[in-house]
Each structure stands twice: as structure tokens, then as C-alpha cells.
Amino acid sequence: MVVDSYAEDSPFAHLFGQPARTKILAAFVSERGRDLNVSYVADLAGVARSTVYDHLGDLQDLGVIEHTRDVGGSPMYQLNEDSKIAEELVRLEGVTLNRLFEMDEE
């Protein structure tokens, strides 16, 4: 009998999912406060537009990103500044970046 590992269904797996989702999250964190269309997110993340579309619903359901408006029929999204998860992602990015700088200095 095969038992699913904890990590398979962990909160981190739901949030970060596949490596593409991590890149998409990084794109939204890097451009926080700005409306982004799917093409721009795909370019920033280095993934296909279809991949961004694959993850948008889950990220919206988690409250990490939000649909802000439509421009010329194109939906725009941004990091949800009211989300505790988004707040922690921004904090985690800063802490990780500081550690990487420290490691470079060692």
C-alpha cells in the first residue's frame, strides 16, 4: 500500500505547486502594487502564457493575487496586498535575499 507523503498535500505544495508556480509568484512579488497582464507575468516568470493561466485560479482562490480590472479585454492581476500569504511572501523574499547577500560576503 502506497501512502501519499506529507509534502504531497502540504500547505507549501498548494501554495508553491510546481516550479512554474514559484516563478509566477516571484513575478507578482517583484511587481507588487502594479497591474500585470498574463503576457507580462509569463515574460517575467519565463513560462508560457498557458502556464500562467493554469495557475491563476489557484492563486486567486488562495487570495495571493487578485483580478484588478480589464484593459482592452485583457484581464489584469496584482499581488493582493491584503493577503497574509502575500505579506509573508514579500517578507520571505527579503529575508532570503538578505541571507544570499550574507553568503556572498562569507
Give 17-45 pLDDT, tens digit per residue: 678 898 899 999 999 999 999 999 999 99
Least confident window among 2-6, 8-12, 48-52 = 2-6
Stretch 44-51: mean pLDDT: 94
pLDDT confidence of 76, banded at 50, 70, 90? very high
The mean pLDDT value of the chain amounts to 87
Please give the backbone phi and psi of residue 73, each rounded to the nearest 5 degrees, phi first.
85, -5
Stretch 81-96: mean pLDDT: 91
